[in-house]
Structures are given as structure tokens and as C-alpha cells.
Structure 1
């Protein structure tokens, strides 16, 4: 079987697809990935065929104020959407040639199902967080630049408004390409992309699905066997477990690196600061803090006192699996959900929306460092399911009919 795995987004969107790709490869399947160019070298190094889609994304995380940047005009937004959808149809359409199935991960895969339909092959949509999939049990996640109406808190109404937003933003571009391909237009863009039976690649203990109609496989975790650097090993061995700070691929407020270090010091803790896409740095030469780049978080998080992070699904799961208490600094979309889940499970704290101050971070981190949070984190770690990618790969192989090579383009 030949499988195309396609996604658009940061490492949190790409890494689960890589985990699934390697599991499929272990089962003897042919896999290719279609991902942003930021990750091409990494995936090449894993021996997986990869096609780049869209522009590089790293520049979007430059440090700066969290205040919204100047909003583009309606005309500029429309052009961005048109260009993005056109690029997806071209790139995914080419990458899918000869494949038996298209698997789209994340929430911006506008063209994937239409490409599969054109080729006459199955399509699977996979999300990484329960709150991003429609359900009367929860409201849609908040979106930047889109205010939630104050006059209603009914979840069904909010999801209907969310569906209309998808139609308004992507409907015209999507249907123009479908018409050109000889396909019927769709009236529900979100439902078309998500399907009526989406897969949910989230851990059932951390992010339980509240009802039927979803296939929850567990998180797609990519095993990491890389050793920690000598510098990091030396730092870890030089004192009590430090606090890890990192924002992944997210933007960083001005001065957040100083805030992080000052908060750790006020609590008598050493600090490890991950540079991330925002380029966080150490503001002084203190021996109580260390700057790191790309690192094996699975190994590191087992040796820290707490993990302070942006609330991505992957980082939340990695910290939970390691048994590390967490502080989530949410900025957008599903990050608020994960902050609340950390609170609900008693494995740390969610920071209020907005840029942290030393005082607010000391309060949140202080709660996460309490013995009860550490005990709860260890308890939850024992429940995290680690074979989600393997199970998803096996399900995919069992469900998708394989064409003979003679029937492939």
C-alpha cells in the first residue's frame, strides 16, 4: 500500500504524521509525506520520502509583542486563501499520484479530500485535540481575530457559526477547484474536510472524546532515542532538577526569557530555556540557567522539576508521559483546552491568557511545584497510552483496499 500523509503547520502538526509514517513503514507499507519545508531535512534524515508544501513557517514565530499585528485587508486575506488552496491542490494532487489513500492531519488541509476523490482513493482526516472536533459537549476553540458572540453559549449554535466561518473563508476557493476537477461543490467545508468519522490522535486520559462518531487511537508519539548533550548532562547533574521553559514554534512576548528566569530564581529553581522558533535567549551569564536548542524532550522531561510550555498537544502529552508537572501558557486555539485539562487532572496549572509577568508565573509555577501536583503527574504518567501510532497504522492497513501496481498511475 502507498500512503500519502499530508499536513500544514508547525512541528506539533508534523511530528505525529512522522510517527505514523514510521509505523506504516515498519508494516511494510510505502509512505510519503507532504509537509512545510521547515521539516524537509529532518524527514529526509529519517529515510522517508517528503514533498514540501507552502512557505517556510519559522519566521512567523519571531519574538515580539503578543498584541495582534496589523490585520491584512479583506482583499489580502482572500488572496492568501486563494493562493494557499491553489498550492494545496497542485502539490497534494501531484504527491498523491499512485497512492492508495490520503491521510490529512491537522486543520488546514483544504484540498486533501478533493484530491482523493479525484483519484478515486480513500481519505482519512485526523485531528490532535478533542475540542477541535464538533460536539455538543464542548464549544469550538477560540480563533485569533474572531470574537466569540456574547449572546449565546449554546455549543450547537457556536459550532454552526464555526461551520459558517469555514464556508465563508474557504468555500469559494475550494469549490472553484472542485468544479475545475469535475467534482460537485460542497456546502459544508468543515464537514467535508473532517468527514463524519474523523480519527482523533489524542491520548484518552489527557484528551478524552465525549461521545461517539470519532475513532480515538491515542496520541501518535514519535520515539526519541537521542542522547542528551554533554553540556546538558553536566547541568542536570550539578544541582536539583531545574524547570524547563519553552514555547516551541509559538511567538514570544518581549522580555519573556527574563520573566522565565526571574520566576525560577524567585522559587529557588534553576532554569533550562529552550530557544524554540522565537529564539529565546539567556539574558545573563548566570550559572543557574542553560539555553538549549532541539533536544530529546522525552528524556529531558523525566529529569526536570516542571515543564512550562505553550500548550501544544505534543508537548502536553510528552510532559504528561514523563510524569512532569506542567504550567501551560496558552496563546491560541487548542492550547486553552490543554491548559484546562492540566488543571482538571491536577498535574499543574494553566496560566491566565495574556503575557506572563514574573508574579503571575511565580504563582502558576509555584502551584505546579507543590507535592500534590507532582504526585498526580506521576499517577497520570502511568495511564498515557504510547502505542497510538502503531494502532492507527494497523487500522489503516486493515481498512484500505490495496491496488495492484498495474492499476496505479
Structure 2
């Protein structure tokens, strides 16, 4: 007797069941096929607080501002999402955000991220989804003080306005994030378009750009100035959630002619120092002459009685912060100046020097080829110059 074949309808049904079983293997709530909140970090970029959330796929969360006078909050909810090793509490920037809390209830409300805000500080916020390496997605939420908001809304941002009841409507928000979040790449080349652009501007600095990209630094802001009679100047700001106090700025100044080199330099700085002294110093350095005259008899008093005491405090705070993050300073210098392995030791020696309150601050030339400068006037910074070859 021959083999008895199943009728065609049964065969189709059996095949469909097999396909459904194959597609369903390993897919259940809370696993990798569903939404996962993987990482988050808070950083401060000039006058903007940035919350970066790394997701397994693109999704728009529920964002609800809580306008309680004594305890304002911004609540971000991912219903039915899973979470992996999220920190329960992150410290805030003490400018707009007091702290960040994460709550995860499996099978109930999913993941909640709560920004506890500082009372009586109206703000605007925006959100933006960006692709990240390895098929992940980053959701970036920016908060900016209402009084310092920009005059126009950049394209591509979903802007939400918040202010005190009865207060004036806030202005739109800062420039959008323009780069991918920090994930290590396996190859030895620049992966993201932002870092490729930096490499084209300064080919002799590709090594340090690759190091920064591999270690999770992100280009968050770009500006350019091209005025008649001046050289073309481009500025890029880089930040990292792990180092909220530190910033890296890359500046490119085009040569004025074919016979003059392009000037490029990287500046690693502690310019995001928190605290009332740092904020007061930032505010005072932006005062106009009329504002200075309201508080001081003359410009000399403004510098000697106003800025100088604050600089002493900032130098101490900057030195302490640099010592805490000195491993990164050492790695940064090794990638930027591999031919001069003693740079980090020279900086360490200056950091351990006692702050002289009688001086306005000091600046050291640590190397001439390449030119490396250590500034210890207010916010400590290390600057490395890269000159392009002519001809």
C-alpha cells in the first residue's frame, strides 16, 4: 500500500501551526522582543538639562508634568515595558533637576522615570527619538529654564511648554541633539556622521575622535560663524552622561589662504560645575556695564571684589573634580598626545599645588608640539591644538 497523504486543508493547517509556533518561540511579555528600558543618564549642557534614555525600540512614552508648588515633577511612563539594571536614583544637576528616580513594577505599570524638579523654576521641555548603534533607540528629553529659552523652535522637536500658573508663556527650546548615544564600536574607524565630520575637519586628530566615540561621547551641539573679514569658525560640543561636570569642545578655524594652516583645538573642561558659586560666576561674567555699575563702583572692584573671590572657590572645586575624574583625563591625553606620555603626570603635579588666593589664576604651557595648555583661572580646562599641514 502507498503512503496515505493528508488532505490539502489539513496540510495547510499543519504548516500554519508550525509557523505560528516558530514565530512564538521566546516571545513573551518582558523579554527582549518587547520594549525594554536599558539605560539612562542625566547631564547638563550649558543651560539645558538632558535626560538620555536608551530603549530597545522606538516608542513615545507618556510624559506628564506635575505642577505641585512644593514638589514639581516631570513623570515619564513606559506602560508594559521591562527594565534592566536601572539605577533607583540618579543625582540631579541642582539647576532644574533635583534628582531622577526610576520605578519598575513587573506586570503592572511598566517603567516610570520621575524627575524631581527644583520648585519655583518654570521651564520648557522637548523630546526627540534618535537611532543608536546595535539597533537600539535613544530618547532624549531636554529641559531648559523658561527665562533663558531660545527665540525659535528647531525643526524636528516635540515641544511642550510648562510654567507657573499665571506666568508668561515660555519660549521654545534649545537646538536638537545631532548625534548617537555612546555605545562602543568594534571597528577602528569613525562610525557616526558627526564624528566623520570632525575627522574631515582635523584629519590629524582622528585618533582622539575615535577614542571619544568609542567611549560614549556624543556631539550634542554645533554652530558656525562665517562673517566678512573673519575666518570660518565651527564649534562642536560633546558630552557624556557619566561625566556631567565635564564638557569637550572642538573648534575648527579655517585657514585664511592656501598658505595658512587650519587651526583646530580640543578643550576638555570642568565648565558644568554645580553649585551657587559657579552659577553666580557664570551670571556675573555675562553682566553688561550698566549691570556692573549697579553693584560695584568701578570695573576694578567688579574684578577684585566680585570675580576674584569666586575664582578662588572655582579653582578649588575644579581641581577636586579633575582629581575625581583623572583617569579619563589621563586617557584623553594619551589619545590626543601619544608622543608625550608625561603630560598627565605634569597636570597631576599642578593639581596638587595649593591654590594661591592672591593670584587671579595661572595658565601653563605643558607641551609645544602639539601645543597643550592647562588653564587654572576659573573652570579648569586642558586644551590641545592640532594644526593642519600646508601644501
Q: TM-score, normalised by structure 2?
A: 0.28
The structure in which a higher percent of residues are helix is 1
Higher relative contact order (CA 8 A, sep 6+): 1
* Larger of the two Rg values belongs to structure: 2
The structure in which a higher percent of residues are strand is 2
